[in-house]
Amino acid sequence: MKEFRVSGKFMMGSTLQKFKKEVRALSEKRAREKIYQDLGSKHRVRRSRVLITTVEEIP
């Protein structure tokens, strides 16, 4: 498994909230999917309200 640092923004109510999170995943695509799942389950945010700006692999 690889480690990825994902950053971006999401709308929480009427506020734009920034985030930076590290996740373990097999690929960049799966890391993005994990972020969507985490934000949706913890903050009840829909995928259309999440903007992922960068995904970088951590060596």
CA 26 to chain centre: 15
Give the model's pLDDT for residue 1: 93
Distance separating alpha carbons of residues 11 and 1, to the nearest angstrom: 30
The whole model's pTM is what?
0.90
Arithmetic mean of pLDDT, 1-19: 96
In this predicted model, what pLDDT tens digit does every residue of 18-57 receive, in sequence order? 999 999 999 999 999 999 999 999 999 999 999 999 999 9
Provide the number of structural domains found in the chain.
1
Distance separating alpha carbons of residues 56 and 5, to the nearest angstrom: 5
- Domain with residue 18: its CATH number is 3.10.20.10
In this predicted model, what pLDDT tens digit does every residue of 27-36 receive, in sequence order? 999 999 999 9
Domain residue limits at 45: 2-58
* pLDDT band per the 50, 70, 90 thresholds, residue 10: very high
Report which DSSP code applies to 20: E
